[in-house]
Structure 1
Amino acid sequence: MSVEKFNQISPSEFFYSNRDLAGFSNPTRSLYTAVREFVENALDACDQKGVLPDVRLKIQAVDPEKHDPKHYILTVSDNGPGMDSKYVPHAFGTVLYGSKFGLKQARGMFGLGATMAILYGQITTNKPVTVKSCTDGQTQDKFEILLDIQRNKPVILRHSTKPASKRGLSVSICLEGDYSKAGGKIRDYVYETSLITPYASITFDDPKGQKFHHPRFVRDMPKPPTIIRPHPHGIDVERIRRMIVESQFEIPSIDDAMIEKVRRELGLAKKNLGFDAMMERVEKKWKTLTRQVRVVISIVSFLGMDLERLSKIKIEDIDVPNKKLFYWDFGDSQSKSVDIDSESPYYKQLTNTVQGEPLTTFLTKRFQRVGPATAVKFAEFAQIKPEKRMGTLSNQELVHLSDSLQKFDEFLAPDSSCLAPLGESPLEKGIKKFFSPDFAAVVQRPASAYSGFPFIIEMGIAYGGEIKTGGPHIYRYANRIPLLYDEGSDVVLKVVNEIDWARYKIKGEPPFLIVSHICSTRIPYKTAGKENVADRQEIERELRLALQFLSRKLAAYMSKRGQAEMAKKRANLYAKYIPLIAEFCTELAGKKKKPDYSQMLEQNTLELATKEAEIETK
């Protein structure tokens, strides 16, 4: 019988074998995905520091004479804050390493995309990534890095510095791509990114020598999002367990540095008092002692040792249920224990250290928008004592706590300060600049939440002008990322297809478009490739409400437009036939002078102008 061999693989090795998951399935898709990941990183860096982005994208063929697919050099540069040189190797040479794992809105969210592009370039061309970074406007660090796939670690081939005059970051990789097929999507991506990021200047130099420049047309940037604490509805058992561990205060190491800290806070200087004299000093100084020192003193009180003796032991465990304190005695080279007296004034200090915070304190300190009154109400709802220490919860109690947090409906809605929507005015300006429509309307829905993650829906609708027929044309965005692939399985298309457009006076395939933007701390993408959004019920509802609101505005415009067209036809008829009727009536009456019908025509012209003015104001 053969023995199976079990192995553990690194994240980089997993994605090396399954790169399709991240959007690197073929040369066409891979070139587009690499462009997108690097441009998004550049825009995110500028957004976080409030810098108006100047992003330059350049794609060069290594051998222009070869046919696609072939090797290209992709370079993306920005004017952002740059990256500290100590982080560069890991940021560009480690899969699942980054700064985007906190609860705030960002284009990137997996710590995966840019490194996957580098990994793809390495496995198709065996060339390193070149990173140039300047954080102070004076010195630029240049790295050439390969990724050790098996160990998921960076290999620095070269590192040099030189004087620089501007801050920013530049990333350059060599990869196999097919620009003849990907070029259209890349140009669309740059174009659509400019629409949703009107405060950015983006320049694209393509392999054919063409330059596509999209200057910024607004200078107001959205307020940078803030990192927030989690919402009770958005966590599970594992997250609660980790939060409890984080909330528990570690037993401090009683080394020379700690003993010196205790001496300093007790005002003992270098002299060593006996145990009793030291504890008398503690009683006088207790209120001024730091938490760490209080824990050490509590341990000392049960051990009955002075500080000199304390330096010769190591605390192993504090067993609260059995009221035992275990320690290793280096002098005797053996483990020993002492009883913990529950009547001691130091008992509570020590047990609280091990058992963690009370439930109500845990809720108010670790979650957003949970006050003391709400915490007490929740404790009653969950049938858990408010003073219950989190470190004493059993596995079954943890599961019950998690379920109760999900079901309790008196928590306030999630805090939306972690979101940075574009805003109605910039979105409307973008739509009007790019499409010059006859009609445009936008709406930003109030913040909502799914599974405890806040999100905001922004949507625009436009009709006529330079918009092509065959609508609705749908432009999908998530955290200001254009979503160009997999439209058929996206929640936005589902909502659009469910609308009865005839009800809103839209028939056939007229020239109109819909721009949809979802911003959230956690976009529920269906894949790591970030191309389509799952149909979460709450998101679907907000999309539908936004679209219905805008559709009613469009219907009102179409109604006014129809009335204006009727008024125009009527005016044309009056202008054509009233003079003829006047002439006929004059002849019939045997008169020489025609009646004055100019006032009638003026009234008709005024009515037409009024109708057209009403449309212009919409």
Structure 2
Amino acid sequence: MAKRQLELIPRNEKKERPAKKAASKPAIVRATPKTAAKRAAPKAAAAKPAPASKPIVRLTATDLAARQREISVSEFFTKNRHLLGFDSPAKALLTTVKEAVDNALDACEEAGILPDLVIVISEISETRYKVVVQDNGPGIVKAQIPRIFGQLLYGSKFHTLRQARGQQGIGISAAGMYGQLTTGKPIRIASHTGSKKPGHEYEIQIDTKRNQPVIVSERELDGNQPEPDKEKRAVQRAFDHGTRVELEIEATYKKGRHSVDGYIEQTAMANPHASVTYVAPDGERHEYARVAQELPKAPLEIKPHPHGVELGILLKMLHETKARNIVSFLHGEFSRVSAPVAEEIAKAAGLAVSMSPQKAAREQAESLYKAIQAAKLMAPQSNVLSPIGEELLLEGLKKQITADFYAATSRSPAVYRGNPFLVEAALAYGGGSLPGDELITMIRFANRVPLLYQQSACAITKSVIQTTWKTYGIQQSRGALPAAPMVVMVHIASVWVPFTSESKEAVASYPEIMKEIKLAIQDVGRKLGLYIRRGLREADAEKKRSYIEKYIPHIGIALQEILGIDDKRKEKVCATLKDTLERSRNND
């Protein structure tokens, strides 16, 4: 009966569940005037209508055109000063000193004067320093001082193909701009061109909108240059001619390989003909005496090589030349192009020999470009470079680094993109001053200027890593610098060093350059390998001799027992054996 009653209930009809027990009533909270106002506020806010969205303003081409502005090079580098090496306070101090020292050395060498430099860095506060660099160069004429120090991309080296430290005309004016941005103070320049002529002192700032110098003050100087720093009486120098540059910048001073101290030490190493006096911010004085009493061979200016000129540059040269015909243009504007060769190139390009270069169209310039690339021309002149030289490389290394073995080499000049360049390498190995369980120390130079940053991005470092050092008895992990008590120094000299950026901290990895670097390193590496193998042989032979010397007395005793000789005869036999051993040692 119970089953039938259950079947009468429809399947989709649920049974009523028993009601749950009533939950306990929550405590009553009485609303105060404040809480009532808070509760009412959201409701009131929700009741307000939503604000209407602002209509999107569409700009016309005229509106966009009105916003276009010309950007001066000073404005660009003001916002992108990291491109020039001013990306950190520590690096800013180094870059400032570097640019001033490079200019001083270039000026002295161009005038045929042995450089005598004074560098003083004074701490004003923890984040502010005054930099003073003084030289005994030819000085600067009055009219040129404002533009050299107060205008970016102004100089004498950009349009010439000649080995020099500076290239772009940016460095020292950029340092002045950095000081102006960080301290608000102008750069101060004092220059004398001779003892019988008055000197001139300027305070200059840069108008970054127009890239023009702004003269804050100027005055005429009588007598010799003012001293580098009145507080540093120990380094006072008076020159009849020369330039003194003073800047106040925001920076930090740190010791180490990548500091100003390391830069000046390496500069003295690569420029043994210069005398450098350096006073650090802590008052410590460093004297780097002149090692070479003669100036290096003066580099010569050359004309561009045709194989290194691109089509756009060729077209520009055609329109700007003063030559009257194509033959005189090729012969006069390029190196290694004689008149007969120029005539052959013109004919190969399908151009009339008497054609005016200024009237050349783009198609004609392209035909001429292809004919130039197909022509067989002599390599650029190689005697225009000024290397340091093997002897001075070794002297510089020995002066700064104590080691057991030194080697140096200077390669013959080579060419990349039509520009001649030359690679020199030197190394110092062993000695107690070099750590044996660390990676080797790299010292890189480009046109005698130390390169302290971006080591891993430099063609020099890549070439050293790609060299098989195990061949010369040096341990090396894959893809890393070798580990040994060794310093490797590489110098690249060229009429145009291909840096990876405007800050000139690393050399671009052109295949021709890397090939020459490897060959130079392999040359000194072979010399090192001979030294290491000879040392190993000598150590092995010495070990064997020590064993023999150890057992000579026992041999004497055995002979005495076998032959029945007396003690005097035994001592004589032992002495003869030792003498024979010593002679064999000397013969080895």
TM-score range, shorter chain: 0.7 to 0.9
SS in 2 for 1:561: helix
Per-residue CA deviations over 1:182-224 (Å, capped at 9, x if unaligned) read: 8961111111111111111112111111112211122122111
SS in 1 for 2:421: strand
The yes-or-no answer on 1:371 pairing with 2:338 is yes
User: Structure 1: how far apart are the matches of 2:442 and 2:314?
Assistant: 40
- Matched to 1:498, the amino acid is Q
The yes-or-no answer on 1:158 pairing with 2:217 is yes
User: Structure 1: how far apart are the matches of 2:551 and 2:348?
Assistant: 80
Please point out which of 118, 121, 137 is paired with 1:80: 137
User: Structure 2: how far apart are the matches of 1:605 and 1:408?
Assistant: 67
Change (3 A) 1:111 1:149: same
- Matched to 1:400, the amino acid is S
Within-5 A mapping of 1:152-301: 152-165=211-224, 166-180=240-254, 185-248=259-322
Counterpart of 2:162 in structure 1 is: 104
Counterpart of 1:308 in structure 2 is: none
Change (3 A) 1:171 1:609: farther
Please point out which of 477, 482, 486 is paired with 2:450: 482
The yes-or-no answer on 1:568 pairing with 2:531 is no
Within-5 A mapping of 1:331-370: 356-370=323-337
Per-residue CA deviations over 1:537-588 (Å, capped at 9, x if unaligned) read: 1101111111112211111111111122122223322322223212221123
The yes-or-no answer on 1:458 pairing with 2:447 is no
Counterpart of 1:393 in structure 2 is: 360
Q: Aligned pair count? A: 498
Deviation (angstroms), 1:226: 1.8
Change (3 A) 1:602 1:122: same
User: Structure 2: how far apart are the matches of 1:19 and 1:159?
Assistant: 28
User: Structure 1: how far apart are the matches of 2:176 and 2:283?
Assistant: 24
Change (3 A) 1:202 1:608: farther
Q: What's the RMSD between the two structures over aligned residues?
A: 1.9
Counterpart of 1:531 in structure 2 is: 505
Change (3 A) 1:608 1:383: farther
Counterpart of 1:270 in structure 2 is: none
Per-residue CA deviations over 1:496-515 (Å, capped at 9, x if unaligned) read: 11122112222363212211
- Matched to 2:419, the amino acid is F
- Matched to 2:331, the amino acid is T
Counterpart of 1:332 in structure 2 is: none
User: Structure 2: how far apart are the matches of 1:183 and 1:573?
Assistant: 45
User: Structure 1: how far apart are the matches of 2:417 and 2:287?
Assistant: 40
- Matched to 1:89, the amino acid is P
SS in 1 for 2:203: strand
User: Structure 2: how far apart are the matches of 1:230 and 1:50?
Assistant: 25
Deviation (angstroms), 1:153: 0.9
- Matched to 1:158, the amino acid is S
The yes-or-no answer on 1:113 pairing with 2:180 is no
User: Structure 2: how far apart are the matches of 1:424 and 1:182?
Assistant: 27
Per-residue CA deviations over 1:286-318 (Å, capped at 9, x if unaligned) read: xxxxxxxxxxxxxxxxxxxxxxxxxxxxxxxxx
Please point out which of 140, 144, 161 is paired with 2:203: 144
The yes-or-no answer on 1:34 pairing with 2:96 is yes
User: Structure 2: how far apart are the matches of 1:506 and 1:601?
Assistant: 35
User: Structure 2: how far apart are the matches of 1:498 and 1:47?
Assistant: 36
Change (3 A) 1:568 1:210: same
Query: Could you say which structure has the larger radius of gyration?
Result: 2
User: Structure 2: how far apart are the matches of 1:461 and 1:603?
Assistant: 38
1:567–1:607 CA contact under 8 A, matched in 2: no
User: Structure 1: how far apart are the matches of 2:324 and 2:143?
Assistant: 36
Change (3 A) 1:381 1:564: farther
SS in 2 for 1:218: coil
2:136–2:242 CA contact under 8 A, matched in 1: yes
Deviation (angstroms), 1:460: 0.8
SS in 2 for 1:415: coil
Counterpart of 1:338 in structure 2 is: none
SS in 2 for 1:488: coil
Per-residue CA deviations over 1:34-61 (Å, capped at 9, x if unaligned) read: 1111111111111112211111111112
Change (3 A) 1:603 1:197: farther
User: Structure 1: how far apart are the matches of 2:581 and 2:219?
Assistant: 78
Counterpart of 2:237 in structure 1 is: none
2:319–2:360 CA contact under 8 A, matched in 1: no
Counterpart of 1:19 in structure 2 is: 81
Per-residue CA deviations over 1:320-339 (Å, capped at 9, x if unaligned) read: xxxxxxxxxxxxxxxxxxxx
Change (3 A) 1:580 1:382: farther
User: Structure 2: how far apart are the matches of 1:214 and 1:107?
Assistant: 20
Deviation (angstroms), 1:409: 5.1
1:457–1:518 CA contact under 8 A, matched in 2: yes
User: Structure 1: how far apart are the matches of 2:242 and 2:283?
Assistant: 25
- Matched to 1:454, the amino acid is P
- Matched to 2:360, the amino acid is L
Change (3 A) 1:403 1:33: farther
Deviation (angstroms), 1:357: 2.5
Counterpart of 2:42 in structure 1 is: none
Within-5 A mapping of 1:375-524: 375-405=342-372, 407-408=373-374, 410-465=376-431, 466-469=433-436, 470-507=438-475, 509-524=483-498
Change (3 A) 1:389 1:571: same
User: Structure 2: how far apart are the matches of 1:385 and 1:588?
Assistant: 105
2:192–2:242 CA contact under 8 A, matched in 1: yes
User: Structure 1: how far apart are the matches of 2:391 and 2:375?
Assistant: 34
Deviation (angstroms), 1:610: 5.1
User: Structure 2: how far apart are the matches of 1:184 and 1:495?
Assistant: 21
User: Structure 1: how far apart are the matches of 2:518 and 2:214?
Assistant: 49
SS in 2 for 1:375: helix
1:374–1:410 CA contact under 8 A, matched in 2: no
Please point out which of 105, 126, 129 is paired with 2:184: 126
The yes-or-no answer on 1:591 pairing with 2:558 is no
User: Structure 2: how far apart are the matches of 1:240 and 1:196?
Assistant: 36
The yes-or-no answer on 1:602 pairing with 2:569 is no
Change (3 A) 1:385 1:604: farther
User: Structure 1: how far apart are the matches of 2:497 and 2:258?
Assistant: 26
2:351–2:364 CA contact under 8 A, matched in 1: no
User: Structure 1: how far apart are the matches of 2:429 and 2:386?
Assistant: 27
The yes-or-no answer on 1:549 pairing with 2:520 is no
2:86–2:92 CA contact under 8 A, matched in 1: yes
Change (3 A) 1:182 1:157: farther
TM-score, normalization by structure 2: 0.81
Counterpart of 1:89 in structure 2 is: 146
1:49–1:224 CA contact under 8 A, matched in 2: no
User: Structure 1: how far apart are the matches of 2:405 and 2:351?
Assistant: 57
User: Structure 2: how far apart are the matches of 1:79 and 1:580?
Assistant: 73
SS in 2 for 1:240: helix
SS in 1 for 2:164: coil
- Structure 2 unaligned residues grouped into runs of 5+: 1-57, 225-239, 477-482
1:234–1:451 CA contact under 8 A, matched in 2: yes
Deviation (angstroms), 1:436: 2.8
